[in-house]
């Protein structure tokens, strides 16, 4: 286990890792003071925005890498009022600003078909969803039918290239788009369970119609029919705010789900029947704020954990 | 010179004969328009000597035919006219199908009644058969979604590839309740435009309030909105609102009121501080108290403000900060104002829209339904405009009409799904009617099911005939091919209609079936005609509002 303290004591909002993390050790940490980049699996961190020569800290709320990172080296970072994009693995950046007033970026997802469609979506706290179809160069708000513009989470279908489906978790519930974010429709989701803080679609969503939603007050919810009906899972112990959901790439076979509940990690290896605390006392003690799973959830697979105190654990 | 007709009473068999001639004439005027290869109906103009109108839409044609010479016939014709007019207004399509269905059922009924059948019994069984057909159509309906499928539906309605493609895309985005404006285009091509947020057709009360001279528009961020339908005669009425706004450090304020006097406008202009305080004013949207109340309610829910209502005796005297609505962006030009990102409670907004949808589903009056649809469309947070192109003004006008009725039918298609087009869905109702015929012992029931069995073929036969094919041959081939198959007049082949993308809106088909069979049954139960007095004068025959002779 490795532990690296950041220069500032601040929450690690988000983590992203290279698909080839075990070889290149490349990862990114988004913090209030900016974006940090590590090439040694999180042992040491450098200011990823150094090339921008900023005069003040640029709070970074989310960071993601392209599905085709190995070839396109693209990284995207959500900052107040826009998105920064890098085509050289975070060495240099281009700015794409949204129309004023500056929105606060709460989530950023990339089309799994990004290599072909160049599509990204950004969820914002007051301005709904912005969409880019040209690899993050230009952005436009597409909020038709999105009756709640307080977007807290986005989830994109693994089969997006075919079904163009994505979900938005908001202050009052969940919305679905079936046409690549051009229009939204309400999902039949009990508004009493909202706000929805996190979303995760099954890797086999096209076949199993499974989507998980993390609520602020009602823990984990699941649909197995594309949002038509919902069941609450594990009322105990998952009764509070559920900030992040990660499904194993082979979720359909192994049923592994890792969630960030309150400030601790819980895992199930049987599709949600039983849950156990992630076996890291250090992580639990400091309070978990974000995580990244470079190689799924199998026992022994590496895990990066961003903590409330600004440090990042490599477990 | 004028003449006066006295009251005249008409009995059987003259009643049926007169009605039948009228129904046949009106139906035959509409019949050529059914199908993808419609024929044109030329209608002489009443008021001028211009070229006759060239029409291919049954709903429009019947509006132009406003009186037949023979008064017995006129009753039948006007029955068809009313049915088709209502159908056109309600669902936008299906008028020619309804006409040929109505004609087939009525003529079959007259033949049966002439041989001694009972009109009341026949009507009752026709209605039972109608319910069976409606259930069958509901069962055969399948949901339609995605731009491609929606374009197919549009093409089956308007037979216009360019328009269908754009309407498919538009409805994929706006959905069944979305706001769509169809306007005359600026070129030969059809174009579409999407507008974020929502807007109302009320502009700035003074051009001095325009801050962006280039775009003739004012726009501000994180604006406050004061919603009212008060009449601002004196600047003093505005004092409490402006004082409160300044106290609360509101930087941008939109005031909505029913009237602003010159003095009030001058006061607002004088109190602007470009760097500290912007204020603009627009009139309350809507015509009349009810529409204004609706607009204020919608604005309030969207922005989280509280409306100040004149009829409730409200004034701005006790205004507080929480009474102001809020939006991420507010804009206004000389014609419209709009908001983007209203900061009302999203739960309240969703509930409000749900209640409007429920009211829309229950509303029967066309005008009220349209108003509710407009309100829901606005609240969904965006709108689309289709600019209909054409080579001439006349062509644009005609295509605009086609786009409107296609849009209306598409809303129905999204709400209730689609069925195989080209008359196939009706033809596929024959087995259940045949089964019921075989189970029935009563003469009236058997007659009703026979009549309906025959009527279910009428639309497909007409489509084939209009396209220049032999209907009997077409029917034979289609029946051999089995359920779901029909005749594609484009290729001259029997095809699986759903696979070929030839679809009809289920709602339109059901509305046509209901209108046709219920009206035919009603006409068959008419026994006596009584004509009232009417004065007519050749001198006034061409004045607007007079009925035109066919």
d(CA A236, CA B347): 28
From the list A143, A179, A185, which residue is nearest B147 (CB)?
Answer: A179
B348 touches chain A (CB under 8 A): no
- At A156 the three-state DSSP class reads strand
Strand partners, B256: B282
Q: Which chain A residues have a beta carbon less than 8 Å from that of B382?
A: 143-145
CB contact under 8 Å between A144 and B328, yes or no, is: no
B222 touches chain A (CB under 8 A): yes
The angle at the Cα of B471, spanning B467 to B475, to the nearest 5 degrees, equals: 120
**Of the candidates B115, B118, B85, which has an alpha carbon nearest to the alpha carbon of residue B99?**
B85
Q: Where are the domains of chain B?
A: 3-142+421-540, 199-344
**DSSP secondary structure, A167-208, as one string:** EEEESS-EEEESSTTS--EE----GGG--EEEEEE-TTHHHH
CB contact under 8 Å between A173 and B350, yes or no, is: yes
**Of the candidates B284, B286, B217, B294, which has an alpha carbon nearest to the alpha carbon of residue B257?**
B284
Q: What are phi and psi of B48, to 5 degrees?
A: -150, 180
Residue of chain B whose Cα is closest to the Cα of A128: B341
The reported pLDDT for the residue numbered B253 is 96
A125 touches chain B (CB under 8 A): no
C-alpha dist (Å) from residue B294 to A258, B109, B300, B327, B381: 48, 48, 10, 19, 17
The reported pLDDT for the residue numbered B545 is 34
CB contact under 8 Å between B194 and A126, yes or no, is: no
Q: Which chain B residues have a beta carbon less than 8 Å from that of A128?
A: 341
Percent helix, strand, coil in chain A, to 5, is 10, 40, 50
C-alpha dist (Å) from residue A141 to A103, A229, B477, B532: 11, 29, 52, 63
Helix (H) or strand (E) holding A121: strand A120-124
Q: What is the DSSP letter of B137?
A: H
Q: Which chain A residues have a beta carbon less than 8 Å from that of B353?
A: 147
User: B167 near B406, Cβ under 8 Å?
Assistant: yes
Residue of chain A whose Cα is closest to the Cα of B343: A126
CB count, 10 Å around CB of B409? 24
Instruction: Count chain A–chain B contacts defined by CB atoms under 8 A.
Output: 65
B172 touches chain A (CB under 8 A): yes
C-alpha dist (Å) from residue A308 to A59, A104, A262, A288, B97: 15, 20, 11, 6, 68
CB contact under 8 Å between B349 and A171, yes or no, is: no
CB contact under 8 Å between B350 and A101, yes or no, is: no
Q: What are phi and psi of A294, to 5 degrees?
A: -60, -30
Extract long-range pairs of B42-51: CB within 8 Å, 24+ residues apart: B46/B542, B46/B546, B46/B548, B47/B542, B47/B544
- At B83 the three-state DSSP class reads helix
The residues, any chain, with a CB within 8 Å of residue A69's CB and separated by 6 or more, are A18, A19, A20, A75, A89
Measured between alpha carbons, how far apart are the two ends of chain B, in Å? 22
B246 Cα to chain A: minimum distance (Å): 21
When scoring A183, A187, A191 by the number of chain B Cβ atoms within 10 A, the one with the most, hence best to mutate, is: A183
d(CA B500, CA B481): 15
Task: State the residue for tokens 């983007």.
Answer: B340
User: A97 near A82, Cβ under 8 Å?
Assistant: yes
The angle at the Cα of B64, spanning B63 to B70, to the nearest 5 degrees, equals: 100
User: B340 near A146, Cβ under 8 Å?
Assistant: no
Q: Counting beta carbons within 10 angstroms of the beta carbon of residue B545, is it exposed (0 to 12), middle (13 to 18) or buried (19 or more)?
A: exposed
Residue of chain B whose Cα is closest to the Cα of A125: B341
Residue of chain B whose Cα is closest to the Cα of A103: B328
Helix (H) or strand (E) holding A76: strand A75-79
From the list A126, A178, A182, which residue is nearest B145 (CB)?
Answer: A178
A254 touches chain B (CB under 8 A): no
Strand partners, A121: A109, A131
Token pair, residue B328, equals 């991420």
User: B358 near B378, Cβ under 8 Å?
Assistant: no
CB contact under 8 Å between A144 and B341, yes or no, is: no
CB contact under 8 Å between B350 and A127, yes or no, is: no
Reduce the secondary structure of B235-265 to three states and give it as a string.
Answer: HHHHHHHHHHHHHCCCCEEEEEECEECHHHH
Token pair, residue A16, equals 């992203």
A267 Cα to chain B: minimum distance (Å): 32
CB contact under 8 Å between B346 and A172, yes or no, is: yes
Token pair, residue B186, equals 């600026």
Measured between alpha carbons, how far apart are the two ends of chain A, in Å? 5
The reported pLDDT for the residue numbered B41 is 82
CB contact under 8 Å between B146 and A182, yes or no, is: no
**Of the candidates B503, B516, B507, which has an alpha carbon nearest to the alpha carbon of residue B101?**
B516
Task: State the residue for tokens 């594309």.
Answer: A226
**DSSP secondary structure, B457-485, as one string:** THHHHHHHHHTT--HHHHHHHHHHH-TTE
Q: Which chain B residues have a beta carbon less than 8 Å from that of A183?
A: 172-175
Q: How many CA atoms lie within 13 A of B277 on its CB side?
A: 16
CB count, 10 Å around CB of B231? 15
Q: Counting beta carbons within 10 angstroms of the beta carbon of residue A56, is it exposed (0 to 12), middle (13 to 18) or buried (19 or more)?
A: exposed
From the list A141, A144, A182, which residue is nearest B380 (CB)?
Answer: A144
Residue of chain A whose Cα is closest to the Cα of B349: A147
From the list B221, B340, B347, which residue is nearest A172 (CB)?
Answer: B347
Write out chain B's pLDDT in tens, 550 residues.
445 557 788 898 989 999 999 999 999 999 998 988 877 788 887 666 677 777 777 777 877 777 888 888 989 999 999 999 888 888 888 999 999 999 999 999 999 999 999 999 999 999 999 999 999 999 999 999 889 999 999 998 888 999 999 999 999 999 999 999 999 998 899 999 988 888 999 999 999 999 999 999 999 999 999 999 999 999 999 999 999 999 999 999 999 999 999 999 999 999 888 788 999 999 999 998 999 999 999 999 999 999 999 999 999 998 999 999 999 999 999 999 999 999 999 999 999 999 999 999 998 887 898 899 999 999 998 889 999 999 988 889 889 989 998 999 899 899 999 999 999 999 999 999 999 999 999 999 999 999 999 999 999 999 999 999 999 999 999 999 999 999 999 899 999 999 998 999 999 999 999 999 999 999 999 888 988 765 454 433 333 233 332 2
Task: State the residue for tokens 């009906």.
Answer: A229
Distance of CA A139 to the CA centre of its chain: 19
B247 Cα to chain A: minimum distance (Å): 23
Dihedral, CA atoms, B464, B469, B472, B477, nearest 10 degrees?
Answer: -80
Buried b (16+ CB within 10 A) or exposed e, B253-264: bbbbbeebeeeb
Q: Which CATH number fits domain B3-142+421-540: 3.30.360.10, 3.30.70.100, 1.10.560.10, 3.40.50.620?
A: 1.10.560.10
- At B193 the three-state DSSP class reads strand
CB count, 10 Å around CB of A291? 25
Q: Which of residues 169-228 of A touch B (CB under 8 A)?
A: 170-173, 178-179, 182-183, 185-186, 191
d(CA B523, CA B415): 31
B382 Cα to chain A: minimum distance (Å): 5
d(CA B445, CA B118): 10
Residue of chain A whose Cα is closest to the Cα of B326: A126
Here the ipTM equals 0.88
Q: Which chain A residues have a beta carbon less than 8 Å from that of B379?
A: 147
The reported pLDDT for the residue numbered B418 is 94
CB count, 10 Å around CB of A207? 10
How large is the angle between the packed helices B346-362 and B366-379, nearest 10 degrees?
Answer: 160
From the list B329, B343, B382, which residue is nearest A144 (CB)?
Answer: B382
CB contact under 8 Å between B381 and A182, yes or no, is: no
Q: Which chain B residues have a beta carbon less than 8 Å from that of A127?
A: 328, 341
Residue of chain B whose Cα is closest to the Cα of A175: B350
CB contact under 8 Å between A147 and B350, yes or no, is: yes
Q: What is the DSSP letter of B207?
A: G
Token pair, residue B333, equals 């030009």
A101 Cα to chain B: minimum distance (Å): 6
What is the pTM assigned to this prediction? 0.82
Strands B325-333 and B191-196: what pairing? unpaired
Task: State the residue for tokens 């604005």.
Answer: B299
User: A233 near A219, Cβ under 8 Å?
Assistant: yes
Strand A82-86: give its sheet, edge to edge: A62-65, A75-79, A82-86, A94-97
From the list B145, B196, B381, which residue is nearest A145 (CB)?
Answer: B381
CB count, 10 Å around CB of A21? 21
The reported pLDDT for the residue numbered B1 is 45
CB contact under 8 Å between B172 and A182, yes or no, is: yes
**Of the candidates B515, B450, B520, B509, which has an alpha carbon nearest to the alpha carbon of residue B138?**
B509
**Of the candidates B315, B275, B298, B299, which has an alpha carbon nearest to the alpha carbon of residue B225?**
B299
User: A220 near A195, Cβ under 8 Å?
Assistant: no
User: A75 near A16, Cβ under 8 Å?
Assistant: yes
**Of the candidates B72, B162, B45, B137, which has an alpha carbon nearest to the alpha carbon of residue B517?**
B137
Task: State the residue for tokens 């400091």.
Answer: A286
Q: Which of residues 450-489 of B touch A (CB under 8 A)?
A: none
A91 touches chain B (CB under 8 A): no
Residue of chain B whose Cα is closest to the Cα of A180: B173
The reported pLDDT for the residue numbered A164 is 93
- CATH code of the domain made up of B199-344: 3.50.7.10
The low-confidence residues of chain A, meaning pLDDT below 70, are 1-9, 279-285
């Amino acid at each position: 286990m490795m532990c690296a303290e950041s220069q500032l004591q601040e929450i690690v909002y988000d983590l992203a890792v290279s698909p080839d993390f075990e070889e290149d050790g490349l990862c990114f940490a988004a913090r209030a003071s900016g974006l940090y980049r590590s090439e040694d699996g999180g042992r040491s961190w450098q200011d990823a925005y150094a090339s921008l020569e900023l005069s003040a800290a640029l709070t970074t709320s989310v960071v993601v890498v392209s599905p085709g990172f190995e070839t396109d080296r693209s990284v995207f970072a959500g900052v107040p009022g826009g998105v920064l994009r890098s085509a050289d693995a975070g060495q240099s950046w281009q700015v794409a600003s949204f129309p004023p007033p500056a929105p606060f970026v709460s989530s950023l997802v990339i089309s799994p078909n990004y290599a072909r469609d160049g599509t990204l979506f950004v969820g914002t706290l007051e301005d709904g969803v912005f969409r880019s179809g040209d690899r993050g160069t230009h952005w436009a708000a597409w909020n038709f039918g999105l009756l709640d513009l307080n977007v807290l989470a986005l989830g994109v279908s693994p089969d997006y290239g075919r079904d163009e489906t994505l979900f938005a978790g908001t202050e009052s519930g969940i919305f679905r788009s079936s046409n690549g974010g051009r229009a939204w429709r309400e999902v039949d989701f009990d508004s009493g369970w909202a706000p929805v803080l996190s979303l995760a679609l099954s890797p086999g969503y096209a076949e199993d119609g499974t989507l998980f939603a993390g609520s602020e007050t009602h823990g984990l919810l699941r649909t197995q029919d594309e949002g038509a009906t919902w069941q609450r899972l594990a009322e105990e112990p998952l009764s509070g705010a559920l900030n992040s959901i990660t499904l194993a790439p082979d979720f359909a076979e192994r049923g592994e789900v890792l969630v960030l509940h309150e400030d601790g990690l819980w895992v199930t290896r049987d599709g949600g029947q039983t849950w156990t605390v992630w076996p890291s006392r250090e992580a639990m003690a400091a309070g978990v704020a974000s995580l990244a799973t470079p190689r799924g959830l199998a026992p022994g697979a590496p895990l990066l954990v961003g903590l409330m105190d600004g440090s990042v654990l490599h477990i | 010179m004028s003449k006066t007709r006295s009251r005249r009473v008409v009995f059987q068999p003259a009643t049926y004969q007169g009605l039948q001639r009228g129904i046949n004439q009106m139906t035959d005027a509409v019949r050529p328009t059914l199908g993808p290869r419609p024929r044109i109906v030329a209608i002489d103009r009443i008021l001028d000597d211009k070229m006759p109108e060239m029409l291919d839409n049954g709903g429009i044609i019947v509006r132009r035919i406003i009186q037949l010479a023979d008064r017995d016939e006129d009753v039948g014709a006007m029955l068809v006219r009313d049915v088709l007019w209502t159908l056109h207004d309600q669902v936008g399509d299906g008028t020619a199908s309804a006409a040929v269905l109505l004609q087939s059922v009525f003529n079959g009924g007259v033949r049966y009644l002439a041989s001694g059948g009972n009109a009341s019994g026949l009507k009752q069984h026709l209605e039972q058969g109608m319910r069976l057909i409606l259930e069958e159509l509901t069962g055969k309906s399948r949901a339609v979604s995605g731009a491609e499928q929606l374009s197919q539906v549009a093409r089956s309605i308007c037979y216009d590839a360019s328009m269908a493609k754009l309407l498919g895309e538009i409805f994929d985005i706006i959905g069944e309740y979305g706001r769509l404006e169809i306007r005359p285009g600026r070129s030969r091509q059809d174009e579409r435009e999407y507008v974020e947020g929502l807007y109302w057709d009320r502009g700035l009360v003074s051009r001095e309030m325009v801050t962006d001279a280039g775009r003739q528009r004012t726009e501000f961020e994180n604006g406050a909105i004061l919603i009212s339908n008060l009449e601002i005669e004196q600047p003093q009425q505005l004092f409490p609102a402006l004082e409160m706004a300044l106290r609360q450090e509101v930087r941008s304020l939109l005031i909505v009121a029913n009237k602003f006097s010159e003095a009030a406008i001058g006061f607002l202009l004088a109190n602007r501080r470009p760097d500290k305080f912007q204020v603009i004013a627009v009139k309350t949207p809507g015509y009349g108290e009810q529409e204004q109340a609706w607009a204020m309610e919608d604005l309030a829910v969207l922005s989280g403000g509280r409306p100040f209502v004149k009829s409730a005796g409200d004034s701005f005297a006790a205004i507080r900060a929480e009474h102001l609505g809020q939006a991420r962006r507010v804009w206004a030009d000389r014609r419209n104002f709009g908001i983007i990102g209203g900061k009302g409670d999203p739960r309240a907004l969703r509930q409000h829209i749900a209640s409007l949808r429920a009211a829309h589903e229950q509303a029967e009056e066309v005008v009220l339904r349209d108003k509710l649809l407009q309100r829901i469309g606005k609240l969904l947070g965006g709108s689309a405009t289709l600019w209909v192109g054409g080579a001439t003004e006349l062509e644009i006008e005609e295509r605009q009409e086609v786009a409107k009725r296609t849009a209306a039918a598409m809303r129905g298609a999204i709400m209730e799904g689609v069925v195989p087009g080209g008359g196939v869905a009706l033809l596929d109702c024959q087995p259940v009617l045949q089964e019921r015929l075989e189970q029935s012992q009563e003469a009236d029931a058997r007659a009703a099911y026979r009549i309906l069995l025959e009527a279910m073929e009428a639309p497909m036969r007409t489509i084939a005939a209009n396209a220049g094919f032999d209907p009997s041959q077409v029917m034979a081939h289609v029946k051999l091919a089995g359920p779901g198959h029909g005749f594609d007049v484009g290729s001259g082949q029997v095809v699986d209609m759903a696979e070929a993308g030839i679809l009809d809106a289920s709602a339109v088909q059901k509305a046509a079936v209901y209108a046709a069979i219920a009206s035919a049954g009603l006409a068959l139960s008419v026994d006596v005609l009584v004509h009232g007095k009417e004065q007519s004068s050749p001198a006034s025959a061409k004045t607007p509002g007079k009925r035109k002779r066919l």
